[in-house]
Structure 1
Amino acid sequence: MNEFFQTLKTQRWDDHRYYHHSRINQSLHFISAISFLVSYALVFVNPAWAALLAWCVSMTTRQAGHFFFEPRGYDEVNQATDEHKEAIKVGYNIRRKIVLLAVWVALPAVLWVAPSLGGWIEPAVGLKGYLEDVGMAWFCLGVAGLLFRVGQLWVTQGAVQALAWMTKILTDPVHDIYLYHKAPLHLLRGELIDPMEHVGGSAH
């Protein structure tokens, strides 16, 4: 268990110091985290609507922060190139995210063209039914995306790394609120980049 918790701690630390320098990105993660927690609660009431909220609000704010606001040049704080960080990223790097988001965008179109998915599901009736089918498709995509990467990590890096990453992903909303709740205040003061004085290029 000590190895598991140390691995989880390292993954969280690396994720923060490598990929969350932008105060805008941090603020969007704070918003995303709150939205994800609402989605978690909503899963027990209506998984489809929980997935709609998670993908349309939680994931879009989170990924917008990474794609549009996070610096992609040389990381002076950690003395690392963007290419190096992308190559060693445990979870979904930019390339993997693009594939995942492409499937996310394609699923509503697939359900619009083939409402029964070739006879696999009951065709939706009305807009509400269509949205619920999209929500369930996105719910399945989220679960599949999580388990697929866990499986990859299990095979390539071992069970501890894989289970630690899964735990990290599922608990990120709580951790992000803890880490980034002050980010909007820093933005209001005009600070666009976290100076990362607590990092200093050294391992945690």
Structure 2
Amino acid sequence: MNTLAVQRWDDHRYYHHSRINQSLHLLSAICFLISYGLLFSDPAMAALLAWCVSMTSRQAGHFFFEPRGYDEVNQATDEYKEEIKIGYNIRRKIVLLAVWVALPAVLWLQPSLFGLIEPAHDFQGFIHDVGIAWLSLGVTGLLFRVLQLWVQQSFMTGLAWAIKIITDPFHDIYLYHKAPLYLLRGELIDPMGHVKPHA
């Protein structure tokens, strides 16, 4: 639990200064919770919602709105933060998102996925297969990073990160539910008064 708490704190203080990013994380979190519910009745639709709305809004917040310069609050360079990031840093995210974009194209050109699945017979079936492929990608991306962290740092680090990722929607709603209100007041950057700089 201590490892999880440290990972959550570092994620918040290093990567969520923008109120727009925080607001997009709130939207993402709400959609992820809906996706969690859909997993039990329609896994393909759950994955479509998670990737097309939750992940795109979340990553748009990081790519387009989060400041990438020197972090005065934490006295850290962007390069340092990218190097120590436990989860998916920008480079790893680009690889993951490239695979996400490529999967529908692969399924369009190879409906049977090279003989691994029953090919779809109509567009609705194609969309279903894309959803299942994206669900598989999400699970694979999670497990792959857990294994990486296990090898590079420790099993506990990887396990804590997996728990963090799965429970992030609940935590993000708790952290960022007021972010849209701050935005309406014209505050684009969280002053992070609760974060103390390094000694």
Matched ranges for 1:134-153 at <5 A: 134-153=130-149
Matched, 1:87 2:83: yes
What corresponds to 2:26 in structure 1?
30
Say what the alpha-carbon RMSD is for the aligned residues.
Answer: 0.8
Aligned partner of 1:180 in structure 2 is 176
Partner of 1:119: 115
How many pairs does the alignment contain? Answer: 199
Structure 1 stretches of 4+ with a deviation exceeding 2 A read none
Amino acid at match of 1:105: V
Q: Matched residues in 1 for 2:172 and 2:116: separation?
A: 38
Q: Deviations over 1:23-79 (max 9, x none)?
A: 000000000000000000000001111000000000000000000000000000000
Q: 2:46 maps to what in 1?
A: 50
Q: Does 1:68 align with 2:64?
A: yes
Give how far 1:200 is off: 2.3
Other structure's SS at 2:151 match = helix
**TM-score after normalising by structure 2:** 0.99
CA distance in 1, matches of 2:32, 2:114: 32
Tell me by how many angstroms 1:202 deviates: 4.6
Hey, what's the Cα distance between the residues in 2 that align with 1:11 and 1:94?
17
The percentage of counterpart residues that share the same residue type is 76
What CA distance in whole angstroms lies between the structure 2 residues aligned with 1:41 and 1:119?
Answer: 31
Asked if 1:158 is matched to 2:154, the reply is yes
Give CA deviations for 1:148-177 in whole Å, capped at 9, x if unaligned. Answer: 000000111111111000000000000000
Q: Is the 8 A contact 2:75 2:198 kept in 1?
A: no
1:197 paired residue number: 193
**AA partner of residue 106 (structure 2):** V
CA distance, structure 1, for counterparts of residue 80 and residue 116 of structure 2: 43
TM-score, normalization by structure 1: 0.96
Mark the runs of 5 or more structure 1 residues left unpaired by the alignment: none
Q: Is the 8 A contact 2:112 2:118 kept in 1?
A: yes
Greater mean deviation of Cα atoms: 141-150 or 156-165:
156-165
Report the alpha carbon displacement of residue 125 of structure 1 after superposing the two structures with TM: 1.4
1:119 is displaced (CA, Å) by: 1.2
Question: Match for 1:101: what amino acid?
Answer: L
The code of the aligned residue for 1:112 comes to W
